[in-house]
Structure 1
Amino acid sequence: MSEHDTRPQPPTEDPPMRRPSRLLSAIGVGAAVAASLLVIGPPPVADASGACSNSGTGVRLPFATGSLGLPRGGSAQGPQKPLPAFDNGRSRTVSWVTGPLSRNRTFTNFGISGTDVGVAWDNGRGQTLLAFGDTFGNCLHQGLGWRNNTLLRSTDRNLADGLTLQRTGYAGPMFGALGFSGVEKTKIPTAGVSIGGRQYVNFMSVRAWGPPSVWYTNYSATAVSSDNGRSWTTPQSTVRPNLPWNPIDSVFQQSAYVKGAGADAGWVYQFGTPNGRFGNGYVARFRPSDVTNLGRYQYWTGSRWGGPGSRPAPVVRGHVTELSVQWSPVLRKYVMLDSPNGVRLRTAPHPEGPWSAGVRITPPSLELYAPMMLPSSPALRGTGPQLYFNASRWDDYNVALIETRIR
């Protein structure tokens, strides 16, 4: 995501968020997606120049540019500042994961001065894969070194002092996008899971950025990698067009994956929300072998699991933001994080609920969004109460590691 949201926000608690936008990928996604452009039309775009232009004042300002279109002044390494110290006895800021000030020195080691999201999942062999959204490089170069998305890796299982990334050189994009606002500006990963030795990343094709905390998608889809994230393909069977008359696909534009545990074992669950940050949360389930076959998905209708023609019912109501959901052996419950007005935690005995009321575990003053749990957390491995998650910080447009203790 890039920084196209400006303050003040619409009437919600959501903290602002960053992102640019793109559509029909290098692979065709069919006439249904093209039809969505004709039906919905290109929305007005709230456009700024990306993370590099963040003034650090809480308001995004357009770049002042020279004759070559390059920014005047500023830093090649973006606006990152020291991570604010916070520790209330339950939650604390640990360290930056990305950015020139992080322990990973991502500007030097990966060509990343700013990025966000940091969806994390285990690749099935003990390695954590992390998919990031809109990524910026040298802020003084034309084009700002922008990539639609990037993938980094880690084998670090001791997160108390921070998350260490493996160094592999310049981080190129996972998959591209057209790059035209109003058509397709970017593709943002929203969920990841490993099944049968392959990696699956659900992403949204963002058509344009709207008012604060609002963005418009063309579709969501699932990209597949058989080589641990080095290359990706997107089966057309996974595309969910964002069409106003489609009550299922339109509420699965952003996602979270979790593998079922206990009585839910044998299923993979996909949580979904509409585009932006103002919709309810829904849930579907599928057998691992059916991950790319939407026709075999089942949807929670409020009282039972129904087939692909069933109308899903919300399992979480309200302004649900970017989601992360995991099973905790410590609690023997599912844990859900999202981030309206600070990071919020819920629990439930089953993916369909009932979900508890959200408990705020970080304050709004930290300006965190997109909390994504790390699979190597003790709370997710059954070895302790510590739950670690990535969270993006608006003012610095980078990802930080946060620890909370579950009860």
Structure 2
Amino acid sequence: MSPRPRIASISVASATVIGLTLAMGVAPSATAEPCTGAAAAVQPPAAPNTEATPALPGGPPVGHRPRNANEGAPLPRLGRLPAEILNSVSSDSATVEQQAGVRPAPAPPAADQPAAQEVTAASPPDPPPPPAPPGTTLVGWVTGPESPNNTIGRFAITGTDLGIMWDNGDPANRQVLMAFGDTYGYCSVRGQQWRYNTLFRTQDGALSKTVAVPDGILANRYSGSPLWAPGLSKQIINSTKWAPNEKGIIPTAGIAAGGKQYVNFMSIKNWDADGRWTTNFSAIAVSPDNGEHWGVYPGSVRAAREGDVSGAKYVPGNENFQQGAFLKPGPGDPYLYTFGTPSGRGGAAYIARIPQGAVPDPNRYEYWNAAQNTWVPRDPGAATVVIPGPVGEMSAQYNTYLKQYLVLYCNGANDVVARMAPAPQGPYGPEQLLVRSWDIPGGIYAPFLHPWSTGKELYFNLSLWSAYNVMLMRTVLP
């Protein structure tokens, strides 16, 4: 049984008392794959960003996802939208549109890539695209070389993804926290300042150009980012060393409860290809100080299979909760909810509920079983599908305008879609198209809702693989 958190701060001594594991605070080095684009030539200032993040001891470097690991998208070109998008989309929330029946022209090959061979055989015509989704616009970059946040100069972040958002629940200093996945710094520095994950904080509710992030300040729990040094965002959740083969610690969901911040993360065993990866386990990390310091609950570990995690028993059904999406309910509901999907982007979605004070305790979870029309305690294997696959990275909220539960994810066509339901467990209606994958070439994924946009206007972060950065999108509901 997972211990109840009773901490004001996380130190080695207090972690031992409450049963938290303090992960090793050493970042691995990285492969050089994304450092071939616009940010590759950017040089760090003389200090403090000239120090490379150290490599993991006792083994070769591990790095980011391999080439073509995101739906066959091209090698990342940091911070750059394709030319056809830049020519048609301004920085002032212009609508992302393509002429009906016309697919965007492919971008010309980069200078370091050979041109494609001429095709002599006639190719079948492209199928017509689905109807254009109304009301979806590109607001601007949240991260990267072209972001007004200047994430390179202020946080040593040239490339990253995800940007999971949640309200910190602090009545004295209300903020939105944003958790990112694999993060690159200055490409010219040894190891490229690669980090498993990073975190931003913001109070921006206007969102007129992007999500504005204030400066980071060392040891300041409300500043723009937790820092290792001035100008260098730190890795917030480190490796626990519970799995012998680990290539990533990736946040998948975040929520505030009882004055603490909780992040569901997945331990990556292997990056496969085409939207597929293999996890060792998922688990819950907790921060008592608004994301400044983190510990991991050993009792929260959900092993994906038998034998991968020493000391963690495999429970059938936990393979379907390797990635998560927390959901705060509508009025009068005392529970929190969490969706689960298997590793990768091909699986269906399931759902569980928990008392709001028991996020890290798997013995308190109840799983929705549609056949029995009930919540089944402590048995993830009893969970039945609530949203059929393929479901990519997802986010969820109760929408006050719709008075419905709303989920966003990328489907099998890699389009951003929404579904709605009268209850967290469904039934969910058909997919509603928000962004077509070919409207923004380069591999879009991970639409994460802004927790303060619960009305007619929806704002959500969206990652673009070819740029390997995060952009803010806006949708106006009909």
Same fold (TM over 0.5): yes
Provide Cα deviations, 1:145-195, integer angstroms capped at 9, x if missing partner: 100000011100001322101210421100222799970011000000000
One-letter code of the match for 1:354?
P
- Identical aligned residues as a percent: 37
Q: 1:272 & 1:103 partners in 2: Cα distance?
A: 34
Provide Cα deviations, 1:71-126, integer angstroms capped at 9, x if missing partner: xxxxxx96222583243541010000000210101001100000000000000132
Larger Cα Rg: Structure 1 or Structure 2? 2
- Residue 295 of structure 1 aligns to a residue whose secondary structure is helix
1:272 maps to: 340
Shift of 1:288: 0.7
Shift of 1:324: 0.3
Shift of 1:211: 1.9
Shift of 1:289: 1.4
Q: Number of aligned pairs?
A: 343
Contact 2:78/2:144 (<8 A) preserved? no
2:435 maps to: 362
Contact 2:23/2:296 (<8 A) preserved? yes
One-letter code of the match for 2:34?
A
1:145 maps to: 193
Say what the alpha-carbon RMSD is for the aligned residues: 2.6
- Residue 317 of structure 1 aligns to a residue whose secondary structure is coil
Contact 1:276/1:321 (<8 A) preserved? yes
Q: Structure 1 residue aligned with 2:267, among 197, 205, 210?
A: 205
Whether 1:52 and 2:97 are equivalent positions in the alignment is no
Whether 1:371 and 2:419 are equivalent positions in the alignment is no
1:328 maps to: 399
Provide Cα deviations, 1:312-338, integer angstroms capped at 9, x if missing partner: 101001211101001100100111000
Gaps of 5+ in 1: 1-24, 29-46, 62-76
Q: 1:79 & 1:179 partners in 2: Cα distance?
A: 30
- Residue 35 of structure 2 aligns to a residue whose secondary structure is helix
After superposition, where does 1:71-90 map in structure 2 within 5 Å? 79-82=78-81, 84=85, 85=89, 86-88=95-97, 89-90=134-135
One-letter code of the match for 2:164?
V
Q: Structure 2 residue aligned with 1:123, among 157, 168, 174?
A: 168
With 235-244 and 320-329 compared, the bigger mean Cα shift is at: 235-244
Shift of 1:376: 2.1
Q: 2:162 & 2:476 partners in 1: Cα distance?
A: 21
Shift of 1:243: 1.1
Q: Structure 2 residue aligned with 1:260, among 321, 329, 333?
A: 329
Shift of 1:53: 4.3
TM-score, length of structure 1 as denominator length: 0.79
Contact 1:98/1:114 (<8 A) preserved? yes
Q: 2:403 & 2:154 partners in 1: Cα distance?
A: 39
Provide Cα deviations, 1:318-374, integer angstroms capped at 9, x if missing partner: 211101001100100111000132211111111100011111111112132000001
Q: 2:190 & 2:408 partners in 1: Cα distance?
A: 37
2:204 maps to: 156
After superposition, where does 1:11-22 map in structure 2 within 5 Å? none
TM-score, length of structure 2 as denominator length: 0.68
Gaps of 5+ in 2: 1-20, 25-29, 40-65, 69-75, 90-94, 98-133, 217-230, 307-313
Q: Structure 2 residue aligned with 1:224, among 281, 286, 294?
A: 286
- Residue 153 of structure 2 aligns to a residue whose secondary structure is helix
After superposition, where does 1:98-117 map in structure 2 within 5 Å? 98-117=143-162
